[in-house]
């Protein structure tokens, strides 16, 4: 029986476990990446492991999220990461060099390799045929130390692309179509593998847009084959030496099969407040808009910018609209300057921002009250833009630019004929903003520079025999990590200070939660389906850990967050019978008498609601390794014991 592309890469990297679907497998990781908002914690954890030099083929630390620097905190974090990187063998991409996923694709990604990154959009690398997975910072720290990265061997879904996109219909519309069809839960426990004739019609940046936003499906990762198109891209980056041809076998067997006919797609938008709330631009109609933001790791490639420049050429941004543009990398920005695209964008009245995440993570450019903002980004969760009642629509750069000029949501097909947009045969290559690490000998003399905002990893405790605690919070379905641990300009600077950031935990849902949880000492959170979707931020587990949360009982979990909870020693429980969710209220006392024993044996725990006088069960499927992690009180303690 033939193998899928994902299976080939998985198979070549399995170092632990049986290669059986649904079972936990340990993978050898070739490359890692971190960004600054998750990176400080990841490096604090790496330091705690006591390993001198990273044991990967390449590890890169990027600064792209916290670049506003409205206080000393961000700059201190940058300095800390720069010094840790220098000391431990990690390449350092300086602020200004670009968004981690864009730069990694340009300068480091390689077909057939494994990459984990402490950012949920790491699957961008799937655009060049690498198996790139988003993970918590601690998992990345372990991989940097040479430890395996564990996933449940996922189902492999084949998305067969046929036909060719019509003019002004974009790669963004392909992933929006998939989100429309299978929802933000549709990819959980699955790898999405693209095949078919339509693949050849898509350039690497277009493929990367699709794999990037596959994160919004909840998928483990997404991947395209590595073919001639990949080779052309890598050649243009001066990196053809890393190219290998990679594709599924002809007789590969997939768990699911979905066909998308590219020629039938039309421009679409994900409406507030979920990436799967997708409608066609026609269906939404001529809606007046207040803001347009173009950029983010989904749509900030040179190809995107060339299209935007073409649409804006000789025009003026509508007087009622503010347009912000953040090119994805220094390379992109530089080439826009060289080929004149930048001046067209500036001339039209765009507010050009630095090459960083910026508005995508609420770092500036929050829309006006109730403002309608079109964004080429990947997430439109409530409040993420920094304006609580902001209405964010996710669209392609083509829709964004055309609408910025029109002043209302508009279909770019109204622009008439579309020219052919081509990538250059050679990109402008200058890696001067990537600092190389010190040699292992010199590394001993490198001092790690810490600021006063950089605090330690919170204390964890080994698993207790029993647990009795109150329900400190009850939330509904599709809770995102932006609900659990909001980001934005005010809170992001606290990422290396868990006691301080914890004060904002769940602020969007219930401002009293942090104080309540702290005063209870230990407590339990109750939630609905797809709990913890979205980002990889382990802070969404570390803040609850600091606040004394011992277990989270929900209908279902998103993958990375569940792992982050386990890593933090918090027990992720799922209702055996979802109807039991309705029987619990805030403040109820829940008691699990044989907590440890049941977790370690059957994985099903019996919970007494002593307030209501009811009894129910919840399950927690744990591999043998996960049990050990939980017994130790988390992955950090476990790793200290096991990874020498
Ligand atoms: C995001 O897009 O939500 C982020 C900010 O990039 C996060 C990482 C973080 O919270 O630092 C992600 O996607 O993992
Ligand atoms: Fe940055 Fe936004 Fe991409 Fe997250 S989704 S990595 S915040 S650009």
Using a 6 Å cutoff on CB, does residue 487 contact ligand 1?
yes
- Residue ranges in the chain modelled with pLDDT below 70: 643-644
What ligand 1 atom has the least distance to the C-alpha of 560?
14
Mutate to test the pocket of ligand 1, among 33, 42, 218, 535 (most ligand atoms within 8 A of CB): 535
Using a 6 Å cutoff on CB, does residue 537 contact ligand 1?
yes
How far apart CA 491 and CA 500 sit, in angstroms, is 9
Tokens coding 481: 């990590």
Nearest to 321 by CA among 411, 267, 402, 416: 402
Gap from CA of 620 to ligand 1 centroid (Å):
26
- For residue 101, the ligand closest to its alpha carbon is 2
Gap from CA of 62 to ligand 2 centroid (Å):
12
Task: Give, to the nearest 10 degrees, the angle between helix 635-642 and helix 36-49.
Answer: 40
**461 DSSP assignment:** -
Going across the sheet that includes 372-375, the strands are 278-280, 268-270, 391-394, 372-375, 291-294, 322-325, 351-352
Gap from CA of 494 to ligand 1 centroid (Å):
14
Using a 6 Å cutoff on CB, does residue 64 contact ligand 1?
no
Gap from CA of 375 to ligand 1 centroid (Å):
16
Q: pTM of the prediction?
A: 0.97
Using a 6 Å cutoff on CB, does residue 297 contact ligand 2?
yes
Gap from CA of 135 to ligand 1 centroid (Å):
11
- For residue 99, the ligand closest to its alpha carbon is 2
Using a 6 Å cutoff on CB, does residue 99 contact ligand 2?
yes
Gap from CA of 361 to ligand 1 centroid (Å):
7
Mutate to test the pocket of ligand 1, among 124, 487, 495, 508 (most ligand atoms within 8 A of CB): 487
Instruction: Determine the pLDDT at residue 461.
Output: 92
What ligand 2 atom has the least distance to the C-alpha of 360?
2
Instruction: Determine the pLDDT at residue 642.
Output: 82
Q: Which residue has the tokens 């990781």?
A: 29
Contact (Cβ atoms closer than 8 angstroms) between residue 406 and residue 381: no
Using a 6 Å cutoff on CB, does residue 124 contact ligand 1?
no
What φ, ψ does residue 582 adopt, rounded to 5°?
-70, -15
What ligand 2 atom has the least distance to the C-alpha of 295?
8
Contact (Cβ atoms closer than 8 angstroms) between residue 64 and residue 36: yes
Instruction: Determine the pLDDT at residue 1.
Output: 84
Report H helices in 202-273.
204-213, 228-236
Per residue in 365-418, pLDDT (tens digit) is 999 999 999 999 999 999 999 999 999 999 999 999 999 999 999 999 999 999
Using a 6 Å cutoff on CB, does residue 483 contact ligand 1?
no
Q: Whose CA is nearest to atom 13 of ligand 1?
A: 535
What ligand 2 atom has the least distance to the C-alpha of 101?
6
Per residue in 159-189, pLDDT (tens digit) is 999 999 999 999 999 999 999 999 999 999 9
Tokens coding 619: 């399950």
First to last CA, the chain: 39
Determine which helix (DSSP H) or strand (DSSP E) holds 434, and give its type and residue range: strand 434-435
Mutate to test the pocket of ligand 1, among 537, 542, 559, 560 (most ligand atoms within 8 A of CB): 537
Report H helices in 145-227.
171-182, 204-213
Q: Whose CA is nearest to atom 3 of ligand 2?
A: 297
Gap from CA of 355 to ligand 2 centroid (Å):
12
Q: Whose CA is nearest to atom 3 of ligand 1?
A: 535
Cα angle at 237 between 333 and 191, to 5 degrees?
A: 95
Instruction: Determine the pLDDT at residue 644.
Output: 57
Q: Whose CA is nearest to atom 1 of ligand 2?
A: 357
- For residue 209, the ligand closest to its alpha carbon is 2
Gap from CA of 37 to ligand 1 centroid (Å):
8
Using a 6 Å cutoff on CB, does residue 618 contact ligand 2?
no
- For residue 120, the ligand closest to its alpha carbon is 1
β-bridge pairing 190-195 and 221-223: parallel
**315 DSSP assignment:** -
């Amino acid at each position: 029986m033939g193998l899928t592309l994902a299976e080939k890469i998985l198979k070549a990297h399995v170092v632990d476990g049986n290669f059986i679907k649904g079972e936990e497998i340990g993978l050898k990781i070739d490359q890692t990446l971190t960004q600054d908002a998750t990176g400080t914690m990841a490096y604090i954890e790496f330091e705690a492991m006591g390993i001198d030099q990273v044991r990967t083929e390449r590890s890169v630390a990027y600064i792209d999220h916290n670049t506003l620097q409205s206080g000393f905190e961000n700059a201190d974090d940058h300095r800390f990461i720069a010094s840790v990187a220098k000391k431990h063998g990690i390449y350092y991409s300086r602020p200004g060099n670009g968004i981690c996923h864009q730069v990694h694709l340009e300068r480091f990604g390689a077909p057939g390799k494994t990459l984990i990154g402490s950012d949920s959009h790491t699957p961008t690398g799937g655009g060049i045929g690498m198996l790139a997975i988003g993970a918590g910072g601690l998992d990345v720290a372990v991989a940097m130390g040479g430890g395996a990265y564990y996933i449940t061997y996922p189902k492999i879904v084949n998305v067969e692309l046929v036909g060719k996109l019509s003019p002004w219909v974009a790669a963004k519309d392909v992933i929006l179509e998939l989100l429309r069809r299978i929802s933000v839960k549709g990819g959980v426990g699955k790898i999405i593998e693209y095949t078919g004739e339509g693949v050849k019609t898509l350039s690497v940046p277009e493929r990367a847009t699709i794999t990037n936003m596959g994160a919004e499906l909840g998928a483990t990762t997404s991947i395209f084959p590595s073919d001639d198109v990949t080779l052309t891209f890598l050649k243009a980056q001066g990196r053809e030496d890393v190219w290998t041809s990679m594709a599924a076998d002809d007789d590969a067997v997939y768990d699911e099969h979905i066909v998308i006919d590219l020629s039938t797609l039309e421009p679409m938008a994900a409406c507030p407040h979920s990436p799967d709330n997708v409608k066609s631009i026609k269906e939404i109609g001529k809606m007046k808009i207040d803001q347009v933001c173009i950029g983010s790791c989904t749509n900030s490639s040179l190809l995107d910018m060339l299209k935007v420049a073409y649409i804006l050429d000789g025009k003026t941004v509508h007087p009622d609209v503010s347009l912000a543009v953040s090119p994805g990398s220094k390379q992109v920005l530089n080439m826009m300057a060289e080929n004149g695209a930048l001046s067209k964008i500036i001339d039209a009245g765009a507010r050009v921002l630095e090459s960083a995440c910026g508005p995508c993570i609420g770092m500036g450019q929050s829309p006006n009250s109730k403002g309608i903002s079109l964004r080429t980004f990947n997430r439109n969760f409530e409040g993420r833009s920094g304006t609580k009642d902001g209405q964010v629509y996710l669209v392609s750069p083509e829709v964004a630019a055309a609408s910025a000029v029109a002043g209302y949501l508009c279909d770019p097909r109204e622009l008439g004929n579309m020219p052919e947009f081509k990538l250059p045969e050679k990109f402008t290559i200058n890696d001067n903003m990537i600092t190389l690490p010190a040699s292992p000998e010199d590394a001993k003399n490198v001092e790690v520079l810490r600021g006063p905002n950089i605090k330690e990893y919170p204390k964890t405790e080994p698993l207790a025999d029993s647990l009795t605690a109150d329900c400190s919070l009850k939330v509904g379905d599709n809770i995102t990590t932006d609900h659990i641990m909001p980001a934005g300009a005010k809170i992001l600077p606290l990422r290396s200070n868990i006691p301080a950031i914890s004060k904002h935990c769940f602020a969007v849902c219930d401002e009293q939660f942090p104080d309540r949880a702290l005063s209870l000492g230990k407590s339990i959170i109750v939630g609905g389906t797809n709990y913890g979707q979205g980002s990889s931020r382990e802070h969404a587990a570390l803040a609850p850990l600091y606040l004394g949360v011992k277990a989270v009982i929900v209908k279902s979990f998103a993958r990375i967050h569940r792992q982050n909870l386990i890593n933090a020693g918090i027990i992720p429980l799922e209702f055996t019978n979802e109807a039991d969710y309705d029987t619990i209220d805030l403040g109820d006392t829940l008691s699990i008498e044989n907590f440890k024993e049941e977790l370690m044996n059957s994985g099903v725990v019996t919970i007494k609601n002593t307030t209501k006088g009811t009894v129910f069960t919840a399950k927690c499927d744990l591999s043998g390794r996960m049990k050990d992690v939980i017994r130790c009180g988390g992955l950090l303690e476990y790793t200290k014991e096991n990874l020498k």
